[in-house]
Structure 1
Amino acid sequence: MGCFHCRNFEQACTYFQAMIREGVEPDEASYSSLFHASASIAALTQGTMIHSHVLKTGHVKDSHISSSLVTMYGKCGSMLDAYQVFRETKEHYVVCWTAMITVFHLHGCANEAIELFEEMLNEGVAPEYITFISILSVCSHTGKIDDGFKYFNSMANVHNIKPGLEHYACMVDLLGRVGRLEEACRFIESMPFEPDSLVWGALLGACGKHANVEMGREAAERLFKLEPDNPRNYMLLLNIYLRHGMLEEADEVRRLMGINGVRKESGCSWIDVNNRTFVFFANDRSLSRTQEIYGMLQKLHGFPLISTLNQSHCGVV
């Protein structure tokens, strides 16, 4: 699965189809990697096809394959299928619980994620390091302060797991999202090790949301030293300055980006049509059918969009 590790996801799925045609049976590790590949490009059709083959071979009993299936369906937007796979898995190892909690988080179903985490604890399944990253991320993105601190404190006190940088970053993000920036800074100062880019990035993101100039500048300066090539950090500080009308400071950020050779990354998306995956980059006109694509976009421009923000999508009963 070298293509997967090289991030050539589409080619990995193509090789799978060739393996089947040649009569070569993939093993559990190959199936798991293929589901991750399908998830990474949201290729639901390809993922479902591979799932069908797994059912025929009986490999679905493997816990890592089951968790990869849950992740694949969740990342491809089919949360109910992910939940069905989870419930149909006979032995729920912690990796499966973690995958389903992460899918709930991905779809904005915080209450369901927390309920599932509590169910896991009641079943006597011990959470792992990564499980806590998932549940703390849920608490962070929904501003659940009490639950967040309860789970964070339980890591060392109950489960004998030493919190890592990812967990501290989640807590900084949680405090920052609800506007408790001073408390977030004190939390960073209390860390038993040096904060990394995850932690400072969480603080900078919160400063961007709440337009805190001084704190944002300090976090950005730390990040410029830790990861000088990351355009996100520059853009966050730039936007903070612009929101406050600090044009000279904003120009200085642009100048610093130029000196360091940093450019804003182009957006990228995928679409699956007739079992083929097409990749698009923002402002990319190198495709052979570019004129047709942009012509269709012109036709679509102005069409009303149907909002689904108020539609409930977390029902899994």
Structure 2
Amino acid sequence: MSACSRLTSSSSIYVAGHRGLVGSAICRALTQAGCTNLLTRSRAELDLTDQAAVRGFFTEARPEFVFLAAAKVGGIHANNSSPADFIRDNLLIQTNIIDAAWRSGVKKLLFLGSSCIYPKFAPQPMKEEHLLSGTLEPTNEWYAVAKIAGIKLCQAYRQQHGFDAISLMPTNLYGPHDNFDLHSSHVLSALIRKFHEAKLNQLPEVEIWGSGTPKREFLHVDDLASACLFLMDKYSGGEIINVGSGQEVTIAELAALVKEIVGFRGGLRYNTAMPDGTPRKLLDVTKLTALGWQSKISLRDGIAATYQWFLDHEQQARL
């Protein structure tokens, strides 16, 4: 492990994807840490799939540090419906930013992958060394392949050029600025919206996709942002680092918890014609805890805070 480049309050920091779930949380954490020189560009201002535009931005702005949180993301339905979009856009975004960052002399880059990079039937909990040890989950393999390519790109630029690029693998995320669109969202935000609308419309029941038996781990996005800042300062190596809570719940348990927090009084109906996805997905966070970080926000508290954010921002919650 090489010596780390440290963030300071005056460091020039580019957060790619600053309006998204993860990017906005990283911006909040950086601001709270006293960092005042944040560089952000909206999609309208900078098309990250355009290599020339990305190189031009880096040449002009010259950021010292980069948090690569920009990605095309979505749940099972979105991945199944638009596989070409998911693999193409993510490959382009990652490649353009990582290459331009190295070319422009960026001190350090943090790349955010996903727990879906691991094989469908990986041993549980999933260790970093389980990467590429088996077949991927078919419902999100396009996104997973792109993210694996991003990891390998970081490792290759480190090996060939000495570029300080690190890769974090977060578990399932949720929190403020999440996507609540029922066609493209992940399970937790979809459940919040479903139960909220069922409560408003006094529906007798809510449909839950799948059997309810798969197990999932969830991490509040503010916890992830905390880990990102921690690892940007403390870690410099080619090996990927898992970031999670270390705890899991079944989808049925999650649905019951969201139902209680939202205050829906009807029943639940499981649609077993819809895919379950990976049966279990829990990250081994031994490496991260050994470095000195662990999550702080409980699932109940995190869901309650996210629901309150949803209520306060319904018009902008990607409805």
Identify whether the pair has TM-score above 0.5, normalized to the shorter chain.
no
Higher relative contact order structure (alpha carbons within 8 Å, sequence separation ≥ 6): 2
- Which of the pair has more CA radius of gyration? 1
TM-score (norm 2): 0.29
Judging by fraction of residues, say which structure has more helix: 1
TM-score (norm 1): 0.29
Judging by fraction of residues, say which structure has more strand: 2
